[in-house]
Amino acid sequence: MFSSQNQKKDVVLALFKDNRTVFRLKDVAMLVGETNFQSLNTKLNYAVRTGKLQNPRKGIYAKPGYSIEELACSVYAPSYISLEYVLQKAGLVFQYDSGITSVSYLRRDIVVDGQAYRYRKIKGEILVNTAGILQQKNNVNIATPERAFLDMLYLSPKYYFDNLNPLNNKTVYKLLPVYQSKALTLHVTKLLQNA
């Protein structure tokens, strides 16, 4: 029993030594080299019951004070943070929204620990193309303002932008081929000429 307790501490210790704050079961298994998922799940659930870890969603474990951006990228994979969340941070839209918006292979609205997460579905070829997506060390994939701008116009062509000045037009035109849409290219050209 003593060695079992040491292993539980080792799992928690390994998680706290890692820079990430959110982990899926398979992430933990790879981190600690555990192949028995049932045993690992039992250890993680014990850590949750004793308050060392949180379990914000089934199959996801987090350190206390976890990153909401990291959770957004972990709930559904592949996905990346984009749309209103990035546009608002970049100053392209002024209306405040506390929700995190992501692009993924499905459409879902969820609430975890009082935080709203919205996922919008986009074509697979666009989703897996990493052009214009910043991949950070802590498993956060976030679109550049230019990529978020194009994602939004691709999904909602009539969306209104308050300010297009923060955009780098050259980058926007470089990213346009990702979408393979003549209508989007025409719409973007017209918007940027009138800005």
Q: How far is the first Cα of the chain from the last one, in angstroms, to the nearest whole number? A: 68
Q: What is the mean pLDDT of the chain?
A: 92
* Tens digit of each residue's pLDDT (9 = 90 or more) over 40-91: 999 999 999 999 999 999 999 999 999 999 999 999 999 999 999 999 999 9
Q: What six digits make up the tokens of 167?
A: 């955009």
Alpha-carbon span 180 to 82, nearest angstrom = 19
The C-alpha angle 108, 92, 123, rounded to 5 degrees, equals: 35
Q: What six digits make up the tokens of 192?
A: 């940027």
Alpha-carbon span 91 to 89, nearest angstrom = 6
DSSP code at position 58: T
Stretch 34-44: mean pLDDT, rounded? Answer: 91
Decide: 159 and 153 in contact? Cβ < 8 Å: yes
* Tens digit of each residue's pLDDT (9 = 90 or more) over 153-195: 999 999 999 999 999 999 999 999 999 999 999 999 999 998 7
Burial class for 152, CB neighbours closer than 10 Å (0-12, 13-18, 19+) = buried
Where in the chain are all domains bearing CATH 1.10.10.10? 2-62
Element (H, E) at 102: strand 100-104
Decide: 129 and 178 in contact? Cβ < 8 Å: yes
The C-alpha angle 135, 136, 140, rounded to 5 degrees, equals: 85
Q: What six digits make up the tokens of 148?
A: 């978020």
Report yes or no on whether pTM surpasses 0.85. Answer: yes
- Name the class of domain 2-62: mainly alpha
Q: What six digits make up the tokens of 56?
A: 């914000």
What does the pLDDT read at residue 137? 82
> CB within 8 A of 101, min separation 6: which ones?
81, 82, 83, 84, 85, 86, 118, 119, 120
